[in-house]
Amino acid sequence: MTLRGRLTTAFLVVVLGPVLLGSIFVAITVATVSRDRTAERLDHAAATVRTGMAAACRQLQAAADAVAVVSPNDRSAVAGQLITRGLATDIKISGGETPAKIAAPRPAGITGWQDCAGPGDTPGKAQAIAARAVAGDELITAAQTVDQAFLARLTAASGTDVTVTEKDDPPGESRLLPAEPGQPLSLTLTVPPSRPTLLYAVLPAVVLAAALAAVLVARWLAYSTTRPLGDLAWAADRVADGALDTRVPILRPDELGLLASSFNRMTRELQAYVQALTASRDQLRGHLAILGETLSSTHDLHRILQVILRTALAATGARAGLVLLIDPDAGQLVPRCGVGLSGDWDVPDTDLEKKRLPVGEGVLGSVAATGEPRRGQGSPASAEPPCLTYVAVPICAPAVAEEPGEPPAFPETLGVLALYDRVGGDAFDDADLHTLRTFAGQAGVAVHNVRMHEEAQRLSLTDPLTGLWNYRYLRESLRREVERASRFGRMLAVLVLDLDHFKEVNDTYGHAAGDAVLSEFARRIRVGLREVDVAFRQGGEEFVVLLPETDGYGGAIVAERLGAAVRDRPVTVDGVQIPISVSIGVAVYPEHGENSPQVLAAADRALYAAKNAGRDTYRLAEPADVTKSHVSSGDHEGNFDQATAVPSGLRPQQHRRGR
């Protein structure tokens, strides 16, 4: 059943129910009142009839007494006068010496008398009433005929129909007056029918009219009530389909009208909000596209953080923002990029890194230390950027499980992303905090990815056993150093080192011991070099060292020092001391080659010359104009027996920039 049907039914039940009950009550009440009034009328009529009959009997008794008191000779005349005056219908004198005389003929049809002093044996058959008087030896009887005229007088006096009856059980609206002294006749009093026929005819008509009116009113009320609800349902369905311009007509300023007005206001605000949200979404989509393109096309961390910060500013409507990363060694937050900062913080990003903040102090330091976001009003700390409102969230690395199947470990905090002064003056809310967490997550992924990329790049260019740069990075570094030496007119020494008899170490002590020897040899190389020098593992037991701004003399000194460092201290592996030595070839750019391959080849030839010379020594390469056949002739030999001696084959001009 529809709402309109339910409202109509409810209204009809509420209205017609009392009407029907009221009509039934009225009908019952009217019937009861009618019965009560009939009973009252019968009571009154009975009293009136008894009074009338008593009066008639007294009148007859008076007439009989009047005849009895006169002389016997006058009694007939007096009886006639009384009959003439209508005091009796018949007066009978009987007894004595004088026969009975009737002053007037007896009315035809009278067959019986009923004495007023008491009922006879057949009261129902009496057609007259009589009263008696005794005068001497005469009996005087005065009678009154009970005819229609007599009964009509009783009917008029009592207001009921009076009839002589033989029935002992009269109908419901009648009453029987039995014969008794003073009431010589058995009479039936009948109340004329007084049913309110008009009332009983009008009452159903009124109920029917009321029912019809109630149905019409109920339908109108149900329609007027449900129509605005139907309009609201239609409008809500339209809004659910996306038609936010739908409006509901306001028919009346009642509660439903207020509801329609509120619905229209809601749709207007929702439409404006959706339009603003769509514009913000498009703007955010553009920023995210830029962010995605930046993340996928570059590993420049500074540029990535700038894009993330500007996107977060656009998404939250903040005036300024700052990205800081943690320097774990110093325990400080290092600002990496900022936008819209004021006061002392309004400096270029290159100078921004100087404004370091200690981890654990202030708002930003607390966020970095605890990993919990914070937001509030007022400048957070004197050392931090000035603002009216702020929100700061930690930048965390992605959570990665250490072992398959285990839950991810608590993410490492990498830095802090902070925004200041929301445009419009409002404080930052939970939605801004949630949005900023999203961008901080992107920043954490970006920082983690860049660091992983740098680590992967380092590992791809690093020898995993020794930690030195590998052959791939050697070629690039040698090319770059040769170009730099050429551009600035400097010299570059290249050393190629090879452990002597390393195969015997593997065969004798095992490959694990050989790896330990290589690792220790690489460590001694790093210890014996300057900060600007670079060492590489070319492959196997062969290593290369680049000595920028170093001539042949300096290269020979380094070769001699490295040889002594290897020879003087055997490598201890599992309690076993393994003696090792190294052969070294030295070449110098541009004296021994015009480019990086030539210089490296010259150093390699010098290494073979050292090997041919008996190992545990070094050799300086021949100049570029000398034929390769002279490399192993032993002309430019040096040895490690004299740790500080200058090789005998080194020319005087090669002694500049030595070390």
Closest CA to 18 of 30, 8, 29, 26: 26
pLDDT for residue 544 = 95
CATH code, domain with 551: 3.30.70.270
Residue 612 included in any domain? yes
556 and 425 together in one domain: no
Per the document, the length of the chain is 659
pLDDT for residue 122 = 47
pLDDT for residue 168 = 56
* Residue 54 structure tokens: 């008593």
Query: Per-residue pLDDT averaged across 199-214, rounded?
Result: 76
Query: Per-residue pLDDT averaged across 190-217, rounded?
Result: 74
pLDDT for residue 287 = 64
648 and 563 together in one domain: yes
Domain hosting residue 109, numbered range: 39-190
Query: Per-residue pLDDT averaged across 402-406, rounded?
Result: 54
Instruction: For the chain, give the percent of residues with pLDDT over 70.
Output: 81
pLDDT for residue 136 = 81
With H, G, I as helix, E, B as strand and everything else as coil, classify residue 386. Answer: coil
pLDDT for residue 642 = 31
pLDDT for residue 107 = 44
| Residue 629 predicted with pLDDT over 80 | no
Counting beta carbons within 10 angstroms of the beta carbon of residue 498, is it exposed (0 to 12), middle (13 to 18) or buried (19 or more)? buried
Query: Per-residue pLDDT averaged across 535-555, rounded?
Result: 92
H runs (alpha helix) in 489-577: 502-509, 511-527, 552-568
475 and 619 together in one domain: yes
515 and 430 together in one domain: no
Residue 492 included in any domain? yes
Tell me phi and psi for residue 196, to 5 degrees.
-75, 75
**Residue at a domain's end among 392, 427, 457:** 457
| Residue 626 predicted with pLDDT over 60 | no
470 and 437 together in one domain: no
373 and 481 together in one domain: no
pLDDT for residue 619 = 95
| Residue 390 predicted with pLDDT over 60 | yes
Least confident of 2-6, 234-238, 376-380: 2-6
pLDDT for residue 644 = 31
Q: 0.75 exceeded by the pTM?
A: no
The DSSP bridge pattern shows strands 413-422 and 389-396 to be antiparallel
Confidence of residue 58 (pLDDT cuts 50, 70, 90): confident
CATH code, domain with 322: 3.30.450.40
pLDDT for residue 659 = 31
Residue 640 included in any domain? yes
Provide the number of structural domains found in the chain.
3
Residue 572's DSSP bridge partners are 577
563 and 587 together in one domain: yes
493 and 352 together in one domain: no
pLDDT for residue 19 = 72
| Count of H-run helices and E-run strands, the chain | 14, 22
| Residue 108 predicted with pLDDT over 60 | no
Residue 108 included in any domain? yes
**Distance set, CA 562 to CA 306, 476, 496, 522, 543 (Å):** 47, 24, 12, 11, 12
513 and 372 together in one domain: no
- What's the chain's average pLDDT? 79
Tell me phi and psi for residue 561, to 5 degrees.
-65, -40
Query: Per-residue pLDDT averaged across 240-265, rounded?
Result: 82
**Structural contact between residues 384 and 355, judged by C-beta atoms closer than 8 angstroms:** no
pLDDT for residue 553 = 92
Sign of CA dihedral 57, 60, 65, 68: negative
With H, G, I as helix, E, B as strand and everything else as coil, classify residue 446. Answer: helix
pLDDT for residue 285 = 65
**Structural contact between residues 498 and 613, judged by C-beta atoms closer than 8 angstroms:** no
| Residue 632 predicted with pLDDT over 60 | no
446 and 479 together in one domain: no
pLDDT for residue 489 = 92
Query: Per-residue pLDDT averaged across 34-62, rounded?
Result: 85
**Residue at a domain's end among 190, 209, 242:** 190
**Residue at a domain's end among 190, 223, 256:** 190
Least confident of 319-323, 376-380, 609-613: 376-380
Least confident of 15-19, 266-270, 507-511: 15-19
Confidence of residue 197 (pLDDT cuts 50, 70, 90): low
pLDDT for residue 480 = 92
Query: Per-residue pLDDT averaged across 263-283, rounded?
Result: 80
444 and 341 together in one domain: yes
Give the H or E element holding residue 37: helix 3-69
520 and 453 together in one domain: no
Separation CA 640–CA 619 (nearest Å): 11
User: pLDDT for 9-27, tens place per residue?
Assistant: 777 777 777 777 777 777 7
Query: Per-residue pLDDT averaged across 418-432, rounded?
Result: 84
Greater confidence (404 vs 636) lies with 404
| Residue 44 predicted with pLDDT over 60 | yes
Counting beta carbons within 10 angstroms of the beta carbon of residue 591, is it exposed (0 to 12), middle (13 to 18) or buried (19 or more)? buried
pLDDT for residue 589 = 94
If one counts every other C-beta atom within 10 angstroms of the C-beta of residue 8, the result is 23
| Residue 61 predicted with pLDDT over 80 | yes
pLDDT for residue 641 = 38
If one counts every other C-beta atom within 10 angstroms of the C-beta of residue 262, the result is 11
Instruction: For the chain, give the percent of residues with pLDDT over 90.
Output: 22
Separation CA 90–CA 107 (nearest Å): 8
Residue 294 included in any domain? no
Residue 390 included in any domain? yes
User: pLDDT for 479-490, tens place per residue?
Assistant: 999 999 999 999
Residue 92 included in any domain? yes
Residue 350 included in any domain? yes
